[in-house]
A and B are shown apart, each in its own frame.
Chain A
């Protein structure tokens, strides 16, 4: 009987974790470029492993039109590259802006990498006159000023580390490689790929399984009680 409570407590811990992951997905249902996490909890039940894992689901989010010049969405593979003092970060959150010098930066003011050096819009150009071609080439007033550096990870995307604020960091053994055949849509944002219904179903499942585990505990309590009462006469 003793191992019922240990098993129950292990599965309760995993269920709580799964619930945390679902709530995090739900909190980010409106975050552009967010990629949902799925917990491989069910596989843990099969394999009797003692640690769960979270995997990233890189499926494409819907493209939502915003009409903003520096909102760019990737359709299909690829990541934008953001330069930071601690090395490059990768993101699909294509909401950029120009800083006071015309450089294209993210919301933290970190500059975006171009295929050949940083990207800067001439300060004499009206921001609405900036166009981005499908291949990621940026033109201001019709003159080419650069190209977004877009990379992928040759199928190893799920090994990226999430660092928050919609950015990923690549571990040493997952080198980025530049890709050419990308689809960049200007004036669009890639919506979060969280599906409310799927998460809701997951949430119901977690809370019912939690309940079932609790019932096990309470049955165990009852049987222990009756055993004790028989023994005590």
Chain B
């Protein structure tokens, strides 16, 4: 059978996966703290039918060989950790990280996950929790008698009590990774560390390369809708041309069959 069929089908599969990635990016165009994914394609291995440089006549070497490739593969998807736009919410407990760093979220089993979603909440016990209700590491508690809460650029949580006395009740810490692209996406805006991401380094916002905290803002998704739409069009066309290759191959084989 024609090798072209399997080659073109790898092309169709790859473009299909590209559409899947674009669809997920577009679906999350309004998700707080979402980071867009980018897909990486690589060509597949080659069948070398004739080596370059083989001797075709005494003293004459073939300048080029005969290599037939077998298509394309998806090597990886890469998360792009560029900053999203900041949206003013006016809510004191909404924070955006102006640079590198993740909030640390404690899962029910004690594992720590990492998030850029800064829509913090206070639960019934006064604990500061993430949007989904998981507590933040280090644990922070807002006293019940507090009248107002504000969060400084360094992540310090200040409360003002009924009498108007301000006091610091806690400190938000951020984590960063040598290779954030190696983090595993867990859904719910959470990332899990892997061997590839390296170990988390914890620090104070605004110091040692950590981003400062901007209270009253949320970080929007960093997906650019126009770029994604352009990518979608190219993916669709590339899919089409690969399916046309299969059709052309099919016609060639039909021709063969018609002779006999």
Known A23-B71, A68-B38; 10 more pairs at CB < 8 Å: A23-B245, A26-B245, A28-B71, A52-B66, A54-B65, A66-B80, A68-B80, A164-B43, A164-B44, A207-B251
Question: What's the interface size class on A, roughly?
Answer: 35 or more
CA distance A166 to B73 in the complex (A): 11
With A20-B3, A102-B178, A107-B76 known to touch, is A196 a contact of B249 (CB < 8 Å)? no
Q: Report if B143 contacts A (CB, 8 A).
A: no
Is the CB–CB distance between B71 and A27 below 8 Å?
yes
Q: Report if A158 contacts B (CB, 8 A).
A: yes
Residue of B nearest to A221 (CB): B259
Inside 8 A of B69's CB, which chain A residues have their CB? 21, 24, 27-28, 37, 162, 164
Inside 8 A of A163's CB, which chain B residues have their CB? 45-46
Which B residues, 9 to 68, have Cβ-Cβ distances below 8 Å to chain A?
Answer: 10-11, 14-15, 18, 38, 40-46, 48, 50, 52-53, 62-68
Looking at chain B's contact residues, is the secondary structure mostly helix, strand, loop, or mixed?
Answer: mixed
Which A residues, 12 to 68, have Cβ-Cβ distances below 8 Å to chain B?
Answer: 16-17, 19-24, 26-32, 34, 37, 40, 51-56, 66-68
Is the CB–CB distance between B258 and A27 below 8 Å?
no
Q: Report if B234 contacts A (CB, 8 A).
A: yes
State how many angstroms separate the Cβ of A156 from the closest Cβ of chain B.
9
With A123-B198, A126-B99, A171-B53 known to touch, is A55 a contact of B80 (CB < 8 Å)? no
Is the CB–CB distance between B50 and A214 below 8 Å?
no
Which B residues, 60 to 103, have Cβ-Cβ distances below 8 Å to chain A?
Answer: 62-73, 75-76, 78, 80-83, 99-100
Is the CB–CB distance between B38 and A126 below 8 Å?
no
Question: What's the interface size class on B, roughly?
Answer: 35 or more
Q: Which of B2, B53, B80 contacts A16 (CB 8 A)?
A: B2
Is the CB–CB distance between A126 and B66 below 8 Å?
no
State how many angstroms separate the Cβ of B62 from the closest Cβ of chain A.
6
Is the CB–CB distance between A54 and B66 below 8 Å?
yes
- Fill in one digit per residue for B229-260: 1 if any A CB lies within 8 Å of its CB, else 0: 00000110110011011001101100110111
Is the CB–CB distance between A31 and B41 below 8 Å?
yes
State how many angstroms separate the Cβ of A24 from the closest Cβ of chain B.
4
State how many angstroms separate the Cβ of B64 from the closest Cβ of chain A.
4
Is the CB–CB distance between A20 and B41 below 8 Å?
no
Q: Report if A217 contacts B (CB, 8 A).
A: yes
Residue of B nearest to A55 (CB): B64
Residue of B nearest to A108 (CB): B75
Q: Which of A121, A199, A200, A214 contacts B256 (CB 8 A)?
A: A214
Residue of A nearest to B43 (CB): A28
Q: Report if A11 contacts B (CB, 8 A).
A: no
Interface centre among B15, B76, B235, B241 (most CB of A within 10 A): B241
Inside 8 A of B260's CB, which chain A residues have their CB? 221
Is the CB–CB distance between B64 and A127 below 8 Å?
no
Is the CB–CB distance between A100 and B64 below 8 Å?
no
CA distance A210 to B62 in the complex (A): 27
Q: Report if B132 contacts A (CB, 8 A).
A: no
Is the CB–CB distance between B259 and A217 below 8 Å?
yes
Inside 8 A of A77's CB, which chain B residues have their CB? none
State how many angstroms separate the Cβ of B66 from the closest Cβ of chain A.
5
Inside 8 A of B201's CB, which chain A residues have their CB? 123-124
Q: Report if A229 contacts B (CB, 8 A).
A: no
Binds B, one of A90-98, A111-119, A145-153: A90-98
Inside 8 A of A26's CB, which chain B residues have their CB? 8, 11, 238, 241-242, 245
State how many angstroms separate the Cβ of A98 from the closest Cβ of chain B.
5
Is the CB–CB distance between B197 and A210 below 8 Å?
no
With A21-B68, A107-B42 known to touch, is A158 a contact of B63 (CB < 8 Å)? yes
Is the CB–CB distance between B208 and A124 below 8 Å?
yes
Inside 8 A of B258's CB, which chain A residues have their CB? 214, 218
